[in-house]
């Protein structure tokens, strides 16, 4: 990895962290649980890495590890979004 | 094909990142939250689909089987879980995310072992090391948190000798292994050892944390799972992973901080098992004075309620374990029919997760406009006829205001003791999770209404119906 590429990734990381800080500061306590579960589902984005790892097909060990990673990340993603939606469905105005 | 790799995939990743940001933004208001979650899920779907066009992906059968198994388990878990079990569910899902990051880190390591490392491997190996460390700690840490909340592992504060020195030693060992891994990247045992120590570290870090501090622990682990994803982004050189991971990492830290503030404790204090020696302070308040509690039965209580015009209900974990939220909603309806103003006061760390009570009450159809946060309702207790505390202990303990020797001194509490009458629904006189005696129970304006929350509120409801 080029140093300039690496620095660019650091830039992205720092800026995205700031966005994260700004976004959450205004969330009311009512929504803390769904927010946590929703952001938890987003952390399942690691599935992108899992897909690539599982599909490379040239190292058996990598494929197996990638395969388990796909399962784990998919549970996180699918379960996370569904459970968040179930919670949010209940927050309706009377 | 080249166009897909250099333009299409990065552009779709950018769109997905945008959707994640909008999704979190909309999650901040009950009116738009569901839409926000949908946008975020759409972003994830796009990211997954476009990744499948990555030219590095040669074999699809593993992927398809993995996606199928994962989706099946995810759907079953999400649809089966009770709303009361939500904290441990989120903890468990979190663990899978962290575990996935560690597995990807390891898979990438073996791919490089197969194809060779770059001439300057420092950045790559540090990134792999971090994704293994954070991912593995998140994995076992979340499993322990899940076990504690599910009752599989003790919910108590677990202390053992040399606990903190041992943790420091393990962290130093991890750092050493990362450095050695930079120098000698082809030695796979360094990386396997790194994973092993990190898994152990996750267990040791969460085991000492008591049940009352679980909201903080879960939120912190959530943050870790984001950071693990971001570290994986550095490993595979992917902006979207870094953006999504950093968003989650930062939001988790902020939530953790909000909760620590709500308990007036530092993060360090929580992590090192803060309320561990609460027992001694408890004895001071209770013994010595000849304290008596007054109890009340459902019939008298119903009479009391029929004369009340302003009522505040304070729910706690006791309501959650008893699944009493529906009975509480019925009580609200009965009182409102009688012309009583009913509101709910929610302490930021009531329950086992931030906002846990809000979820349970929403499940039983209590409109969220009836739910008030601590700072919005605390001045109103003075003008309240009856405050009904259901299974909450530490968040209503006046010792936090008055007793400088109490371990919870300084923690913002709901000022329920200022209301004209306080009714406390509780199974017994046992202390709460923090293990601290509560003077509130012995106050002149406090009446104890003993029983399991669901049962007790049910009996009260029947009495009220009889009166109507």
Q: How many whole angstroms separate alpha carbon B37 and alpha carbon A38?
A: 7
| pLDDT score, position B282 | 42
> Which residue of chain B has the CA closest to A58?
B111
Give the percent of chain B with pLDDT over 70. Answer: 94
pLDDT digits (tens, 9 = 90+) for B260-294: 887 777 887 777 654 444 443 444 444 445 567 88
* Chain A residues closer than 8 Å to B242 by CB: 9, 12-13, 16
> Strand pairing partners for B346?
B373
For residue B279, what pLDDT is reported?
Answer: 41
Domain ranges of chain B: 81-272, 298-467
Say whether B244 and A55 touch across the interface (CB within 8 A).
no
In a 3-state reduction of DSSP, which class is residue A80?
helix
Extract the tokens encoding B159: 């202390």
Total number of residues shown for chain A: 94
Write the burial class of residue B58 (CB in 10 Å: 0-12 exposed, 13-18 middle, 19+ buried): exposed
The pLDDT value recorded for residue B154 is: 81
Q: Do B40 and A87 touch (CB under 8 A)?
A: no
Residue B122 is encoded by which pair of tokens? 């420092």
How does DSSP classify residue B223?
A: H
Tokens of A6: 């690496």
pLDDT digits (tens, 9 = 90+) for B191-225: 999 999 999 999 999 998 877 778 888 899 999 99
Q: Is B189 on the interface with A (CB under 8 A)?
A: no
Nearest beta carbon to residue A36 from set B36, B219, B234: B219
> What's the pLDDT tens digit per position in B86-101?
889 999 999 999 999 9
Evaluate if residue B416 carries a pLDDT over 60: yes
| Number of neighbours of residue B382 by Cβ within 10 angstroms | 10
**Residue B82 to residue B362: CA distance in whole angstroms:** 13
Considering only alpha carbons, which residue of chain A is nearest residue B243? Answer: A16
- Rounded to two decimals, the ipTM of the complex is 0.95
Closest CA to B342 of B383, B377, B309: B309
Closest-CA residue in chain B for A25? B254
State residue B287's pLDDT score. Answer: 44
Rg (CA), chain A: 18
Cβ atoms of residues B210 and B275 within 8 Å: yes
Given A18, A39, A44, which is nearest B44 (Cβ)? A44
Of A1, A74, A93, the CB nearest to B74: A74
Q: For residue B124, give the chain A residue with the closest CA.
A: A1
Give the pLDDT score at B281: 40
In CATH, the number for domain B298-467 is 3.40.50.1220
Nearest by CB: A58 against B94, B108, B114: B114
- Strand B421-426 to strand B386-390: parallel, antiparallel, or no bridges (unpaired)? parallel
Tell me whether residues A75 and B74 touch, CB distance under 8 A. Answer: yes
Q: pLDDT at position B432, please?
A: 65
B104 touches chain A (CB under 8 A): yes
Q: In sequence order, what are the residues at sequence separation of 6 or more whose Cβ sits closer than 8 angstroms to the Cβ of residue B69?
A: A71, A74
CB B238 within 8 A of CB B15: no
Choice between B165 and B134, residue whose per-residue pLDDT is larger: B134
Instruction: Please state the φ and ψ torsions of residue B346, each to the nearest 5 degrees.
Output: -115, 115
Give the pLDDT confidence of B228-249 residue by residue, as tens digits. 999 999 999 999 999 999 999 9
Reading the block at residue A67, the tokens are: 């395969």
Element (DSSP H or E) covering residue B310: strand B310-315
**Mean model confidence pLDDT for chain B:** 89
B49 touches chain A (CB under 8 A): no
The answer to whether B298 and B463 have CB atoms below 8 angstroms apart is yes
* CA B115/CA B419 separation, integer angstroms: 71
Residue contact A33–B354, C-beta within 8 A: yes
- Please list the pLDDT of chain A residue by residue as tens digits (94 residues): 678 888 999 999 999 999 999 888 777 877 888 899 999 999 999 999 999 999 987 788 999 999 999 999 999 999 999 999 999 988 765 4
For residue B186, give the nearest of B105, B116, B108, B102 by alpha carbon.
B116
The alpha carbon of residue B407 is apart from the nearest alpha carbon of chain A, in Å, by 24
> Which one-letter DSSP state was computed for residue B329?
H
* DSSP classification of residue B409: T
B308 has pLDDT over 80: yes
CA dist B165 to B130, B258, B268, Å?
22, 28, 15
- How far lies B2's CA from each of A53, B53, B54, in Å? 20, 11, 10
Other beta carbons within 10 angstroms of residue B260's beta carbon come to 21
Q: Which two tokens stand for residue B167?
A: 């943790």
Identify the active-site residue in B120, B394, B417, B444.
B394
For testing the chain B interface, which of A34, A45, A47, A82 should be mutated: the one with the most B CBs within 10 Å? A45
- Test mutation, B32, B66, B363, chain A, max A CBs within 10 A: B66
Q: Does B106 touch chain A (CB under 8 A)?
A: yes
Distance CA B128, CA B126 (A): 5
Widest Cα–Cα separation across chain A:
57
Q: Which of A5, A11, A38, A46 to mutate to test the interface with B (most CBs of B within 10 A)?
A: A46
- B104-122, pLDDT tens digit by residue? 999 999 999 988 888 888 9
When pLDDT is cut at 50, 70 and 90, the band that residue B56 belongs to is confident
Evaluate if residue B179 carries a pLDDT over 90.
yes
Neighbours of A64 (CB within 10 A): 16
8 Å CB contact between A43 and B226: yes
pLDDT, tens only, B37-46: 999 999 999 9
Torsion of CA B143, B144, B147, B149, to 10 degrees: -110
Q: What is the DSSP string of A1-69?
A: --HHHHHHHHHHHHHHHHHHHHHHTT--GGGHHHHHHHHHHHGGGGHHHHHHHHH--S-HHHHHHHHHH
In this predicted structure, which of A25-34, B8-17, B116-125, B361-370 has the lowest mean pLDDT? A25-34
Yes or no, beta carbons of A13 and B44 under 8 Å apart: no
B96 and A76 within 8 Å at the Cβ level: the answer is yes
**pLDDT exceeds 80 at position B336:** yes
Q: Which of B445, B459, B313, B319 is nearest to B388 (CA)?
A: B313
């Amino acid at each position: 990895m080029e140093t300039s590429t690496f620095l660019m990734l650091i830039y992205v990381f720092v800026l995205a962290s700031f966005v994260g800080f700004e976004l959450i500061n205004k969330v009311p306590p009512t929504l803390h649980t769904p927010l946590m579960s929703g952001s938890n589902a987003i952390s399942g984005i690691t599935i992108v890495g899992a897909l690539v790892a599982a599909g490379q097909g040239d190292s058996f060990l990598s494929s197996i590890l990638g395969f388990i990673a796909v399962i784990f990340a998919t549970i996180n993603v699918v379960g996370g979004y569904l459970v968040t939606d179930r919670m949010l469905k209940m927050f309706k105005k009377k | 094909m080249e166009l897909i790799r250099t333009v299409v995939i990065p552009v779709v990743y950018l769109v997905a990142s945008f959707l994640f940001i909008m999704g979190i933004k909309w999650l901040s208001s009950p009116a738009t939250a569901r839409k926000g979650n949908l946008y975020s899920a759409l972003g994830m779907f796009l990211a997954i689909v476009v990744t499948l066009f990555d030219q590095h992906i040669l074999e699809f059968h593993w992927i398809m089987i993995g996606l199928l198994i994962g989706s099946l388990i995810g759907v079953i878990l999400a649809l089966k879980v009770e709303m009361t079990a939500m904290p441990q569910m989120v903890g468990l899902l979190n663990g899978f995310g962290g575990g996935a990051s560690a597995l990807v880190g390891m898979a990438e390591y073996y791919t490089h072992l197969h194809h060779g490392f770059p001439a300057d491997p420092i950045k790559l190996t540090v990134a792999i090391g971090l994704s293994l460390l954070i991912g593995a700690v998140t994995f076992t840490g979340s499993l322990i948190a899940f076990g504690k909340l599910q009752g599989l592992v003790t919910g108590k504060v677990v202390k053992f000798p040399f606990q903190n020195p041992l943790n420091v030693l393990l962290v130093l060992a991890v750092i050493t292994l990362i450095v050695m891994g930079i120098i000698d990247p082809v030695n796979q045992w360094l990386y396997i050892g790194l994973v092993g120590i990190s898994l152990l570290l996750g267990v040791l870090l969460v085991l000492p944390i008591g049940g009352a501090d679980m909201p903080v622990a879960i939120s912190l682990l959530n943050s870790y799972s984001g950071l693990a994803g971001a570290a994986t982004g550095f490993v595979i050189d992917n902006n979207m992973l870094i953006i999504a991971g950093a968003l989650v990492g930062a939001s988790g830290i902020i939530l953790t901080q909000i909760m620590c503030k709500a308990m007036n404790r530092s993060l360090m204090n929580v992590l090192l098992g803060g309320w561990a020696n609460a027992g001694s302070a408890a004895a001071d308040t209770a013994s010595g004075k000849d304290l008596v509690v007054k109890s009340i039965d459902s019939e008298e209580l119903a009479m009391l309620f029929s004369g009340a015009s302003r009522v505040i209900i304070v729910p706690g974990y006791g309501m959650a374990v008893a699944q009493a939220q529906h009975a509480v909603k019925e009580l609200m309806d009965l009182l409102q029919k009688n012309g009583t103003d009913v509101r709910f006061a929610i302490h930021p760390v009531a329950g086992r997760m931030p906002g846990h009570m809000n979820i349970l009450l929403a499940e039983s159809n209590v409109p969220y406009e009836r739910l008030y946060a601590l700072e919005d309702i605390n001045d109103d207790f003075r003008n309240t006829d009856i405050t009904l505390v259901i299974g909450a202990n530490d968040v209503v303990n006046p010792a936090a205001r008055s007793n400088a020797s109490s371990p919870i001194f300084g923690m913002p509490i709901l000022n329920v003791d200022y209301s004209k009458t306080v009714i406390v629904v509780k199974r017994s006189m046992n202390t709460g999770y923090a293990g601290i005696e509560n003077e509130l129970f012995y106050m002149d304006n406090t009446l104890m209404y003993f029983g399991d929350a669901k049962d007790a509120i049910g009996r009260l409801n029947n009495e009220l119906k009889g009166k109507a």
